[in-house]
Structure 1
Amino acid sequence: MPNLESTVVLAVVVAAMGLFISGKLRVDLIALCVLTALVVLRLIEPGQALYGFASPATATVAAMFVLSAGLVRTGLVQWLARRLDRLAGKSETRLVLVLCAAIAVLSAFIVNTATVAIFIPVAAVLARARRIAPSRVLMPLSFASQFGGVCTLIGTSTNILVNSIAVDAGLAGFGLFEFARLGILMSVFGIVYLVIATRWLLPRREGEIEQVDKYRLADYLAELLVEKTSSLIGKTWVESEAGTDRELTLIKLIRGGDATWRPLRTKLEAEDILVLHGDVEKLMALADQYGLTMKTDVTMRDQEISSDELKLIETVIPPRSSLVGRTLRDAGFFRRYGGVVLALQRRGRVLRERLGDIQLDGGDTLLVQGGREDVSRLMRSPDLIVTNELTELYLRKDRAVYALLLLLAVVVLAVTNAVPIFVAALIGAVGMVLSGCLRMEEAYRAIDWRVIFLLGGILPLGLALEETGAAAWLANATLGPFVRFGPVAVLAVIYIVTAILTETMSNNAAAILLAPIALSAATSINVDPRPFLVAITFAASTSFATPVGYQTNTMIYAPGGYRFSDYTRVGGPLNVVFWGLAVLLIPLLWPL
């Protein structure tokens, strides 16, 4: 039985895991709560409370965010993505192969959420140009970005984190390309699997190419004819009492067969047709009250609510957007962008009512109707990813060269062991600002502070697990029964447990919780702990079976029109394949 201190630490672990899995609180807030509990309960010394924030892993992760942002902001990554059109040919198989290979290579050095954000609209446009449903290419894109992330030490924050834990435990750190041997093999197997899976397992939802179908808008759209006796004649929509109802939106005004340029501020005339968005009961009441006739012979398509001047734009809220946790009303969405939000899709569920009061989350997709200037504002915003339009390519050639040279410098410094990895990353980050690739304000915005506070708050929990003996007790209780089958069996269990936890909670948190247990298990059976840490790194950095297990999976959920079951059907077998490859290859590449 564990002692009192170990029992209390285990209680904190259980509470933290429950909060992570429930998703009721932000991961960074949970980490800070854990840190506070550890200090208040005297499970760590006050001086150790800053262990996570002072860790080289935390500094390296922050520096890599800045380095990645420099490569993105100069237009280099976007320029490379646009060059794929010629290589992709005309077939679906070749398109998937080219997209997967390209994003895997880029994700080995650049934060994969940034690369996926750039590739989503590129992949969707390339797919539609070949009459291929985006659902056939976006899931392979997300999965391949994870393949690339495990090929280098700087590919994901989890790789950097586990390496720091290994060094703190007195082990030799991993080299920059030490994971590449296994990572490249897994990437090849993974891409071949995706090319095959695309044919039989991925959905082909051509019927939902229309946004009206995808967002189930038909029941919330209506055309109303302005009768000669209507009280709205001579008034603009914003001047009328009808225009004050927040649950009804005028999205188009048709006069003489043509859409007017400023529907909200055009004085209404008899025979005008109003295209309105709102609840059907509200629309019927409006028609009765203001002398309008609802047209019943209209089939709503995208063209009915768009025109040369008005466009339908689909935007994804990325995980690091400032809109996350706020409502459209609080964020002043209309004031900032000018467009009208017609619907919101969250993990396959379409929301259309009281949109202004819904708290936004990363991965939410908004269907926005707006004019050309509104579309331009949406496309320039760092808080949104426009999925059905390509932004104007802006390549800063001189700065792009500096950014590329800085990345190469970081790689050379790390490979030659001239300086520690976090120093190399810091040199690259500072160089991005000094060379003009980024402004200092852009560097601050590039850092995902949620990840930094997650690491700063949760790393001391790993320290507490180790110092109180809770890690050793957990290792004996959970892995002890498998010891008699040999160290490979223990490695297999560590990998699968990490993979399962990663599907339900933060991958960094899963790695931090399991690394001390793996170290204790290795010590108890007298084997090298590094293979166990490699297993945790790969399992925590590759999550395919759910849309919530990894941020890139969430980002492509709505643009691809996926359902939860699509991830399980395609990603579940891929998780099993990677588990088998890991159990087979890790003991060969890192002998136990």
Structure 2
Amino acid sequence: MTFEMLFVFGLLAVTIALFISDRLRMDLVALMVVAVLAVSGIISPTQAVSGFGDPVIIMIAALFVVGEALFRTGVAATAGNWLLRVGDGSETRLLLFLLPVVALLSAFMSSTGAVALLIPVVLSMARKSGLQASRLLMPLAFAALIGGMLTLIGTPPNIIVSGQLRAAGFEAFGFFDFTAIGAVILFLGVLYLVFIARFLLPQSAIRETGNPHPTLSVFTERYPTAKQLHKLIIQPGSPLNGQTLSEAAVRSQYELTVFAVQRQGQFLSTLQPVLSQTRMQALDTLILYGRDEDVHNFCQALQLRRLGFPETEMMKLQQRFGLAEILLPPDSPLTNHTLKEGRFRENYNLSVIGVRRQGLALDTRFIDTRLAAGDTLLLAGAWEYIRALESKRELVVLETPAELQEIPVHAGKAHMALSIMLAMLMSMTLGWLPNLSAILLAALAMILTGCVTLSEAYRSLNATSLVLIAGMLPLALAMESSGALSFVVDYLIREYGNLSPILLCAGLFLMTSVLSQFISNTATTVLVAPVALMTAQTLGLNPEPFMMSVAIAASTAFATPIASPVNTLVLAPGNYRFADFAKVGIPLQILALAVTLALVPWLFPF
């Protein structure tokens, strides 16, 4: 063993120890690895920083932009709402739907890309359902990795082993030759992740930085009126037809706050805010806050009919409208005036639906109450007007809900964003363009079409994940350049080459799986696949079962956060520690090993 090999093994051991200890941030450790390799002489300084220009890093960065565009246009929220409906608020049901979806997506595109696209969806679902994101993100990542086992193009190792078979004069693997084994692993893996891994996943909630925003439900607890939401339709012949709310004295006479209107024949997503000049029409649908008895009197007097408010419509409503809480400072022009005198709706395009004074909510009949300095007001209205409050110097914005952070600011571009994403997936699946080219073009198209702004695109880049991946790639290069990886492979083959074919497959699987926890599974496959092929030829055996074992094992990168870019992507948003991956991932590796050893000899006889 040469000095260079010892040095690389020592660096790898120290790196893993630092990761496990959790004393330093993992991206900082990765930068330290880059610095050590740059001065070691084992690889050149240029090679030491080559990870930052690696196509994988560029592809992941571009996928962050694509994912941000889907988030900003509301596509991610729509997908999340659908999964929430079918999941019915249950973690188990949610995972049973989510995991097969991401696995199927990963079967036809990069698993890294699939996870990058779905992380905003999962984070949105976790917040809306009250679940911890840490309970969803790791299963998401592992299902994506298993999805790569389903088809020839699911992951680079599958293509590598197939290509090497062809180069050696054997028949290459077909597109669906991987499917039977991958499908069984997926089925059992989903059961494991849903029903067993829940006891191994971290239980603590994600740590928040700073003052976390409350949800809309928190506002409804502070202000009783926020729970009194109603939906009414204006009947033909109603006196309200053709009038504004002010002309009909809806607020002063009935103590009701109408903040949204839906015109006949339009979808709920096209709801418009009710402004001071908005005139009502027959068959308009009104969304308002108020007491049941006041709503009853309103309907009787002005010929309106109550409608139901399904949960699905409530979710869509929250995409357009929300709540915010403000404080009146002593110099506010609203102090010592009523809401009507202060012309609040006319000036701010928002409605006051609750008032708190000295910590106590006032009675709902506060229309004639003179406001005082220190009063807090709960406002209802369109999100764009709530955002505009930040520029109003005469008001102090106390809190805006967490939902505001997820409201699509480019909702009108949703169809464009979806079309761009589908074009990207088709290009990658059908081989029209290389994956990197397709993803880069998609990211650029998202920016040029206004689905995401350039500043939003820059902010979407997860620096922690990118630096960690870029910093660890040169370590794999150093292991290859120093001969350390070949040394390990040669030693294992020399010691265990005389075992039975099934045990040899098990050994190759374990070796590939272990190495893939610390270096690229693509690099591991490139080095191990020739060994597997040569071993089969030397023993006069069919190489297909050996090569299939290597390919499946290369996708079992479950035990460390650096095993795959997929794991690294969920590390920060899931607030995971290094050991969390080992606790959940190692049993899944053993499961994949058992399935492979049971099926490979049957499907691909020795």
Which category of TM-score, normalised to the shorter sequence, fits these structures?
A: 0.5 to 0.7
2:399 matched to 1:374?
Answer: yes
Q: Return the match for 1:143 from 139, 149, 161.
A: 139
Q: Contact 1:76–1:395 at 8 Å: present in 2 too?
A: no
Cα distance change on mapping 1:483 and 1:435 into 2, 3 Å: farther
Q: Contact 1:410–1:428 at 8 Å: present in 2 too?
A: yes
Cα distance change on mapping 1:570 and 1:423 into 2, 3 Å: closer
The match for 1:481 is 495
1:308 & 1:153 partners in 2: Cα distance? 55
Q: Contact 1:96–1:140 at 8 Å: present in 2 too?
A: yes
Cα distance change on mapping 1:25 and 1:533 into 2, 3 Å: farther
The match for 2:528 is 518
The match for 2:557 is 540
Letter in 1 for 2:135: M
1:564 & 1:59 partners in 2: Cα distance? 25
Q: Contact 1:65–1:446 at 8 Å: present in 2 too?
A: yes
The match for 2:208 is none
Cα distance change on mapping 1:178 and 1:79 into 2, 3 Å: farther
Q: Contact 1:66–1:429 at 8 Å: present in 2 too?
A: yes
Bigger Rg over Cα: 2
2:485 matched to 1:471?
Answer: yes
2:406 matched to 1:396?
Answer: no
The match for 2:118 is 115
Q: Contact 1:406–1:431 at 8 Å: present in 2 too?
A: yes
Q: Contact 1:494–1:535 at 8 Å: present in 2 too?
A: no
1:420 & 1:34 partners in 2: Cα distance? 31
Q: How does 1:543-554 map to 2 (within 5 A)?
A: 552=570
Deviations 1:157-210 (A, max 9, x none): x956x6899899999999999976655443332334455549x9699x9xx9xx
2:464 matched to 1:450?
Answer: yes
2:511 & 2:33 partners in 1: Cα distance? 24
**Cα drift, residue 139 of structure 1:** 2.9
1:183 & 1:61 partners in 2: Cα distance? 25
1:523 & 1:146 partners in 2: Cα distance? 28
Unaligned runs of 5+ in 2: 206-355, 364-372, 380-389, 391-395, 538-542
Larger deviation, residues 86-95 vs 65-74: 86-95
SS at match of 1:577: helix
2:510 matched to 1:493?
Answer: yes
SS at match of 1:32: helix
1:32 & 1:17 partners in 2: Cα distance? 14
The match for 2:265 is none
Deviations 1:499-557 (A, max 9, x none): 8x5xxxxx6x574885576357547636778646534542215779xxx9766477557
**Cα drift, residue 406 of structure 1:** 2.3
SS at match of 1:419: coil
1:440 & 1:94 partners in 2: Cα distance? 37
SS at match of 2:442: helix
1:154 & 1:431 partners in 2: Cα distance? 30
Q: Contact 1:9–1:464 at 8 Å: present in 2 too?
A: yes
The match for 1:459 is 473
Letter in 2 for 1:23: D
Letter in 1 for 2:511: I
Larger deviation, residues 183-192 vs 462-471: 183-192
Identity of counterpart residues, as a percentage?
26
Q: Return the match for 1:420 from 431, 434, 438.
A: 434
The match for 1:191 is 190
Q: Contact 1:176–1:411 at 8 Å: present in 2 too?
A: no
SS at match of 1:539: coil
SS at match of 2:51: coil
Q: How does 1:260-299 map to 2 (within 5 A)?
A: none
**Cα drift, residue 432 of structure 1:** 1.8
Cα distance change on mapping 1:144 and 1:523 into 2, 3 Å: same
Q: Contact 1:410–1:424 at 8 Å: present in 2 too?
A: yes
Cα distance change on mapping 1:51 and 1:123 into 2, 3 Å: closer
**Cα drift, residue 114 of structure 1:** 5.7
The match for 2:82 is 83
**Cα drift, residue 450 of structure 1:** 3.3
SS at match of 1:418: coil
1:426 & 1:254 partners in 2: Cα distance? 54
The match for 2:37 is 38
SS at match of 2:147: coil
1:179 & 1:405 partners in 2: Cα distance? 30
1:567 & 1:452 partners in 2: Cα distance? 19
Cα distance change on mapping 1:543 and 1:17 into 2, 3 Å: closer
**Cα drift, residue 480 of structure 1:** 4.4
Cα distance change on mapping 1:60 and 1:531 into 2, 3 Å: farther
Deviations 1:403-447 (A, max 9, x none): 222223223333333332222222222222222222222223333
SS at match of 1:437: coil
Letter in 1 for 2:68: A
SS at match of 2:187: helix
The match for 2:216 is none
2:150 & 2:397 partners in 1: Cα distance? 40
1:578 & 1:457 partners in 2: Cα distance? 29
**Cα drift, residue 374 of structure 1:** 1.8
**Cα drift, residue 76 of structure 1:** 0.7
Letter in 1 for 2:115: N
Deviations 1:437-473 (A, max 9, x none): 2222222333333333334333232222223222111
Letter in 2 for 1:3: T
The match for 2:275 is none
2:530 & 2:485 partners in 1: Cα distance? 6
The match for 1:408 is 422
**Cα drift, residue 493 of structure 1:** 1.4
2:446 & 2:175 partners in 1: Cα distance? 20
2:457 matched to 1:434?
Answer: no
1:564 & 1:19 partners in 2: Cα distance? 10
2:594 & 2:458 partners in 1: Cα distance? 41
TM-score, scaled relative to structure 1: 0.54
Cα distance change on mapping 1:434 and 1:91 into 2, 3 Å: closer
1:91 & 1:464 partners in 2: Cα distance? 46
SS at match of 1:540: coil
Cα distance change on mapping 1:56 and 1:154 into 2, 3 Å: farther
Cα distance change on mapping 1:24 and 1:257 into 2, 3 Å: closer
TM-score, scaled relative to structure 2: 0.53
Q: Return the match for 2:595 from 571, 581, 588.
A: 581
Letter in 1 for 2:535: I
The match for 1:333 is none
**Cα drift, residue 147 of structure 1:** 0.6
Letter in 1 for 2:43: I
1:534 & 1:584 partners in 2: Cα distance? 15
1:29 & 1:98 partners in 2: Cα distance? 36
The match for 2:64 is 65
Letter in 2 for 1:457: G
SS at match of 1:112: helix
2:177 & 2:559 partners in 1: Cα distance? 17
Q: How does 1:221-370 map to 2 (within 5 A)?
A: none
2:423 & 2:175 partners in 1: Cα distance? 13
**Cα drift, residue 475 of structure 1:** 1.9
1:574 & 1:122 partners in 2: Cα distance? 25
**Cα drift, residue 488 of structure 1:** 0.6
> How big is the alpha-carbon RMSD for the aligned residues of Structure 1 and Structure 2?
5.6
Letter in 1 for 2:65: V
1:566 & 1:467 partners in 2: Cα distance? 31
